């Protein structure tokens, strides 16, 4: 074969995951494809690995626009993602999905999307939009849309409810896979869920749960994100079954963690836990390519030249990122400038919150109340009951409240503080509960990132601080804020749907880090407190959550009273 001067040559130790071999080689690239892979007799230090793919991510959780996300992800060797845009869809509907697809096209990143199946996730919260079966059909016709997004309404699937089943049938019509979302689902209900056509799950937290799902035909996405980390629990299982059954995904990763790495860091951890390098690389390359039928090359002659060059198979520090035969990243630097993100109109119809709006009153001095109990590094919670003392309210202290009522306040000594959900779409509903696990004292945090409907969610040790933080979000049109009882301490604007910033990654990461430093200063020791907070509004993850309509018991799929008896 004769090669012209335009041909590009890359050399290194090639990791051939198809034949499960590693050997020194040169790759010859013509146009955008691999023309030749040739073994050579050389002592080479660097390694050529298949393209790194995050098979399940919500780009919105990085707080970065698709363009700003690509700028940093590419430097970490991420060649492709399968993104579920249901966060922005819950705020702006199908218009938000089109925005994500359009912005991603302006980058070299091979970004594919799933059609959000549950917008809203359930009908128990205030939502900004709805995606019906007609819009699902529109999305399924698009080449950028490769699957039906995680089906969170598992009770609807189990009971064969018409709306969700129509969406599933549309995905089958277009021969596109259906992603699952079934935390702790087991037995007969799991069987019915899978029989509907659900193919994956990323919510497993134990070997027993994951193994049952594999045996019933599911593929397991081992999640290693910012707030939910399941690799330690599931890695041994991945050594016992065929490698084709697994993916590594982030699901949700914050800007601070993305600064340090992406899929390359997950690979580093997997190998440190004893997983073979070739097997680990299958989880993030050939498996998503095959499952979602992605037009991404995987280090084979004739395929698109999509691959990554790293320093070794322990650290996975990225030297080069190649996409469609072009070197996009060299020595950690992006070689081309990407355009500025486009803006899109946000929705923030929040009424000003006063301290009196946040009172919890009772007719009794002692009350048993339901409390949301945080589980560190998990998005599942526990529902616990605590007895709380209340203080008498006097009419001259708080207007419009009768005498002989008692106020239930935060108890920071026992780590029980208020949590508030505020409707940002119609400004009507406000719900109050209590949460344990943050250890936050003398401060409040508020954010317009509240999965999945993204109303405002806030926690705090005193009502005045909570009100200040919420009102700041109204002023800046969405974002994150921390305040004390006197003033705002720090905030981050998220002008794209109240979820993402138009600023570059470094600026967002610095602001995010500044807020988290304040959070730790006021006692919280959670690894990813902002992300942990954002999931307390998700009423499809057990056990107890809060929506703008009240406390929601996920096990019974019903609202419950804050005060018992």
Average pLDDT, integer, range 439-443 = 96
Q: Which of 227, 223, 224, 170 is nearest to 197 (CA)?
A: 170
Find all residues with CB under 8 Å of 143, minimum gap 6, and list them.
none
pLDDT in tens, 206-248: 999 999 999 999 999 999 998 889 999 999 999 999 999 999 9
Segments of 128-215 assigned E as strands: 145-151, 178-180, 200-201
Percent of the chain topping pLDDT 90: 87
pLDDT at 2: 41
Residue 28 has pLDDT above 80, yes or no: yes
pLDDT at 403: 60
Which is more confident, 499 or 540?
Answer: 499
Q: Classify the C-alpha dihedral 372-374-380-382 as positive or negative.
A: negative
pLDDT at 401: 52
pLDDT in tens, 115-151: 999 998 777 888 899 999 999 999 999 999 999 999 9
Residue 456 confidence class, pLDDT cut points 50, 70, 90: very high
Residue 25 has pLDDT above 60, yes or no: yes
- Alpha carbon distance 259, 278 (integer Å): 26
- Alpha carbon distance 320, 330 (integer Å): 5
Mean pLDDT of all residues belonging to the chain: 94
Residue 404 confidence class, pLDDT cut points 50, 70, 90: confident
| Cα 345 → chain centroid | 22
pLDDT at 452: 86
pLDDT in tens, 77-100: 999 999 999 999 999 999 999 999
DSSP letter at 563 equals: E
Residue 392 confidence class, pLDDT cut points 50, 70, 90: confident
Question: What phi and psi values does residue 217 have, to the nearest 5 degrees?
Answer: 110, 0
pLDDT at 398: 52
Residue 429 has pLDDT above 90, yes or no: no
Q: Which of 419, 422, 429, 443 is nearest to 532 (CA)?
A: 419
pLDDT at 3: 44
pLDDT in tens, 187-203: 999 999 999 999 999 99
Note the helical H segments in 322-437. Answer: none
pLDDT at 126: 84
Q: Is residue 460 packed enough to be buried (19+ CB in 10 Å), middle (13-18) or exposed (0-12)? A: buried
DSSP assignment of 29-72 equals EETTEEEEEEE------SEEEPPEEEEEE-GGGGTB-HHHHHHH
pLDDT at 1: 34
pLDDT at 127: 85
Q: pTM of the entire structure?
A: 0.92
- Alpha carbon distance 177, 424 (integer Å): 33
Average pLDDT, integer, range 503-529 = 95
- Identify the structural domains of the chain with CATH numbers, from first to last: 57-305 (3.20.20.140), 355-564 (no CATH)
Q: Which of 484, 34, 108, 557 is nearest to 323 (CA)?
A: 108
Cα dihedral: 39, 42, 47, 51 (round 10): -20
pLDDT in tens, 330-367: 998 999 999 999 999 888 999 899 999 999 999 899 99
Residue 379 confidence class, pLDDT cut points 50, 70, 90: confident
Residue 365, both tokens: 């001095």
Residue 164 confidence class, pLDDT cut points 50, 70, 90: very high
- Alpha carbon distance 479, 492 (integer Å): 5
Residue 565 confidence class, pLDDT cut points 50, 70, 90: low
């Amino acid at each position: 074969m004769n090669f012209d001067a335009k041909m590009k040559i890359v050399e290194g130790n090639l990791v051939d995951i198809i034949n499960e071999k590693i050997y020194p080689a040169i790759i010859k690239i013509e146009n955008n494809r691999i023309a030749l892979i040739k073994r050579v007799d050389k002592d080479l230090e660097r390694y050529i690995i298949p393209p790194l793919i995050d098979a399940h991510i919500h780009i919105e959780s990085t707080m970065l626009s698709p363009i700003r996300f690509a700028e940093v992800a590419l430097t970490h060797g991420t060649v492709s993602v399968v993104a579920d845009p249901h966060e922005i869809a819950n705020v702006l509907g199908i218009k938000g999905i089109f925005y994500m697809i359009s912005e991603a096209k302006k980058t070299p990143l091979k970004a594919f999307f799933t059609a959000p199946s549950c917008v809203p996730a359930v009908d128990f919260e205030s939502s900004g939009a709805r995606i019906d079966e007609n819009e699902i059909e529109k999305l399924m016709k698009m080449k950028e849309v490769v699957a039906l997004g995680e089906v969170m309404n598992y009770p609807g699937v189990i009971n064969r409810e018409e709306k969700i089943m129509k969406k599933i049938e549309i995905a089958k019509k277009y021969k596109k896979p259906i992603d699952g979302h079934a935390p702790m689902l087991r037995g007969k209900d799991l069987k019915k869920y899978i029989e509907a056509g659900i193919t994956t799950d990323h919510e497993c937290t134990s070997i027993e749960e994951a193994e049952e799902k594999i045996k019933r035909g599911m593929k397991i996405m081992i999640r290693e994100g910012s707030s939910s980390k399941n690799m330690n629990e599931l890695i041994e299982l991945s050594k016992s079954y065929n490698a084709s059954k697994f993916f590594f995904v982030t699901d949700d990763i914050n800007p601070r963690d993305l600064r340090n790495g992406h899929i390359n860091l997950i690979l580093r951890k997997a190998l440190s836990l004893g997983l073979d390098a070739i097997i680990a690389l299958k989880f993030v390359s050939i498996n998503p390519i095959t499952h979602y039928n992605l037009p991404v090359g995987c280090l084979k002659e004739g395929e698109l030249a999509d691959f990554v060059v790293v320093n070794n198979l322990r650290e996975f520090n990225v030297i080069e990122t190649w996409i469609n035969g072009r070197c996009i990243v060299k020595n950690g630097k992006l070689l081309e400038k990407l355009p500025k993100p486009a803006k899109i109109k946000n929705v923030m119809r929040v009424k000003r919150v006063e301290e009196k709006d946040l009172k919890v009153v009772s007719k009794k001095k002692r009350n048993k109340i339901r409390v949301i109990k945080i589980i560190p590094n998990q998005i599942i919670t526990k529902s616990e009951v605590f007895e709380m003392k209340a203080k008498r309210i006097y009419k001259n202290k708080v207007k419009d409240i009768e005498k002989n009522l008692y106020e239930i306040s935060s108890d920071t000594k026992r780590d029980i503080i208020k949590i508030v959900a505020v409707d940002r779409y119609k400004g009507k509903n406000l719900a109050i509960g209590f949460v344990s696990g943050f250890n936050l004292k003398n401060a409040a945090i508020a954010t317009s990132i509240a999965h999945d409907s993204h109303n405002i969610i806030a926690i705090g040790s005193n009502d005045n601080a909570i009100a200040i933080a919420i009102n700041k979000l109204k002023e800046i049109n969405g974002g994150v804020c921390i305040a004390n009882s006197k003033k705002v301490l720090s905030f981050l604007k998220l002008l794209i749907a109240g979820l993402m910033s138009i600023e570059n990654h470094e600026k967002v990461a610095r602001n995010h880090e500044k807020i988290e430093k304040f959070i730790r200063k006021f006692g919280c020791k959670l690894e990813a407190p902002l992300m942990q907070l954002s999931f307390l509004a998700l009423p499809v993850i057990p056990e107890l959550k809060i929506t703008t309509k009240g406390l929601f018991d996920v096990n019974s799929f019903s609202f419950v009273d804050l005060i018992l008896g």
